[in-house]
Amino acid sequence: MSVQIVMDRSGDTRHEFDAVDANAVALAESRFNELTGKGFRAVALGRDGGGSDRVVSRFDPNVEETLFIPQLQGG
């Protein structure tokens, strides 16, 4: 199972999908495009604390965990 983690006011919202389920993948891709279109950054998490984290600009169903970070602003 893959998961898309979206940061929000509740902490985060997780959307799990099965990478072999075409419908679920299509839905996940649509979510990816919608969020990145709104300015979210998608980061593929490596779960090793940073060494293999990478920014992804295109949807990849094989990424196990994708974290969506809202647009940054200066304070």
Question: Which residues would be at the binding site for other proteins (CB under 8 A)?
Answer: 5, 7-12, 39, 41, 43, 45, 47-51, 53-55, 67, 69-75
Residue 38, CA distances (Å) to 7, 14, 47 in order: 13, 18, 25
Q: Report the nearest approach of other proteins to the CB of residue 1 (Å).
A: 16
Residue 3, CA distances (Å) to 30, 65, 75 in order: 14, 5, 30
CB 14 within 8 A of CB 5: yes
In the bound state with other proteins, the residue whose beta carbon lies nearer, of 14 and 21, is: 14
Q: Report the nearest approach of other proteins to the CB of residue 12 (Å).
A: 6
In the bound state with other proteins, the residue whose beta carbon lies nearer, of 5 and 28, is: 5
In the bound state with other proteins, the residue whose beta carbon lies nearer, of 25 and 60, is: 60
CB 15 within 8 A of CB 6: yes
